[in-house]
Structure 1
Amino acid sequence: MCAKLEKQDTDKITYEGLLQGNKDWVAETLKEDPTFFARLSAGQAPPVLWIGCSDSRVPANQITNTMPGDIFVHRNIANVVTHTDMNLLSVLDYSVNVLKVKHIIVCGHYGCGGVNAALGDKQVGLIDNWLRNIKDVIRMHDREMQTIKDPVKRSNRLVELNAIEGAANVMSTSIVQNAWASGQELAVHAWVYSLETGLIKDLQVSASGPEDISPVFKMQAQK
């Protein structure tokens, strides 16, 4: 797979071309593995839930070298995790309680347009209300952010903090806490992907039990 698409290459992508690309992919896949789709259609049991950014340059399977069926994916602008997002909570609940995933990864990426927009004061549109969640991250880490003067480093650090806070928000949900209380094997992690190098940075923020979360968010187990 090409690492970078030039503008003239993306201009050649057409509606019909997408359908033909699908046919070509199916033919090539069946050539390599005649039973691939039969096995894929039998069901899914992915061990990982990926909460990432909607950015088209950050596809979970490709950058982790995994196959369809390996990762359950939820994506939104700037990989925001908030307790009022019923879409995300529904995905999280299904992943934990039905699919029984073992790892939940919140992955941001350097150069994130949503993060950069949150750092500014220009109105973009409806998304400004969504980006308020990232501005809250800035407020929570205001002292550190104020010390970073370089705009690129400031953006990169906010990308990291946004992923860290997102992972913390996942950990504090009743969904994850109830899973831990029942003894379910489940870990939550924060990562950042670099578009420039293709490498993932583990932010070393992981939790595998209620002892790893802030006491203010701990809940009593359901009886």
Structure 2
Amino acid sequence: MCAKTIETQDITYETLLQGNKDWVKDMIDNDPAFFDKLSAGQSPPVLWIGCSDSRVPANQITNTKPGDVFVHRNIANVVVHTDMNMLSVLDYSVNVLKVKHVIVCGHYGCGGVKAALGDKQVGIIDNWLRNIRDVYRTHEREMATIKDAEQKFDRLVELNAIEGAANIINTSIVQAAWANGQELAVHAWVYSLKTGLIKDMKVTSTGLNDVAPAFKVG
């Protein structure tokens, strides 16, 4: 039997610790060697770059287990070439873990993307959202043709994920892996909070031929 899920309004510091104990019991009841295998090491085939939004947990929405997905999350799943945190995660994933897939996953209804569409000052995060506004500027001609506000919002979510995936393949990390013959695919997805389904944006990249000449290195 699975541990009872705690309602959001009932979550406290103490219930989190108790929830951990309940989860451990469930895992051991289902597989007595679960933690022995988990502690032996990791070899996840996937790196997930997603939004920090609490409603978009990588393992749950892909029905995968602990150890299956290496995860990096930030506000609005932004991929920017100056982010040493993201680059360190990418480097470790590609060169040490040897992941076979890197997925940049956005989600409809993303608060960060919505804030980037507005003109109100939010705080220090405005500097981070600038990266999403750059995506808008890059696709300004297309965005100008979309009159419905919700559709425009959704499309910027999609474009942000697509541009994020493009920024991944433009890194020296990924290009070096491809140059060395490593099997690696980069994808852009968008998750729907309303349906629970993932939309594949069909922009998968698998080799150096997918890198624009201006960004090729080495």
Give the TM-score, by structure 1 length: 0.95
Alignment partner for residue 30 of structure 2, among 29, 32, 38?
32
Partner of 2:180: 182
Alignment partner for residue 170 of structure 2, among 155, 168, 172?
172
Q: Map 1:140-179 onto structure 2 (within 5 A).
A: 140-179=138-177
Partner of 2:128: 130
Partner of 2:87: 89
Shift of 1:124: 0.7
Partner of 2:117: 119
Shift of 1:109: 0.1
Whether 2:69 is the aligned partner of 1:71: answer: yes
Residue type at the aligned position of 2:101: H
Q: Distance between the aligned counterparts of 1:32 and 1:11, measured in 2?
A: 29
Q: Distance between the aligned counterparts of 2:195 and 2:182, measured in 1?
A: 35
Partner of 2:57: 59
Partner of 2:48: 50
* 1:106 aligned counterpart, secondary structure: strand
Structure 2, unaligned stretches of length 5 or more? none
Post-superposition CA distance 1:5-27 (Å, at most 9, x none): 9xx93111000000000000000
Partner of 1:198: 196
Partner of 2:209: 211
Post-superposition CA distance 1:128-164 (Å, at most 9, x none): 0000000000000000001111111101000000000
Q: Distance between the aligned counterparts of 1:126 and 1:175, measured in 2?
A: 29
Q: Distance between the aligned counterparts of 2:147 and 2:120, measured in 1?
A: 19
Q: Distance between the aligned counterparts of 1:77 and 1:84, measured in 2?
A: 15
Shift of 1:62: 0.2
Shift of 1:113: 0.2
Post-superposition CA distance 1:21-57 (Å, at most 9, x none): 0000000110010000000000000000000000000
Deviating above 2 A after TM superposition, structure 1's stretches of 4 or more consecutive aligned residues are none
Residue type at the aligned position of 2:55: R
* 2:163 aligned counterpart, secondary structure: helix
Q: Distance between the aligned counterparts of 1:17 and 1:39, measured in 2?
A: 27
Structure 1, unaligned stretches of length 5 or more? none
Residue type at the aligned position of 2:72: H
Q: Map 1:5-24 onto structure 2 (within 5 A).
A: 9-24=7-22
Identity of matched residues, %: 76
Q: Distance between the aligned counterparts of 1:190 and 1:9, measured in 2?
A: 32
Residue type at the aligned position of 2:192: S
Residue type at the aligned position of 1:18: L
Report the aligned-residue RMSD: 1.1
Give the TM-score, by structure 2 length: 0.97
Shift of 1:213: 1.6
Q: Distance between the aligned counterparts of 1:123 and 1:141, measured in 2?
A: 23
Residue type at the aligned position of 2:40: A
Shift of 1:215: 1.0
Residue type at the aligned position of 2:20: N
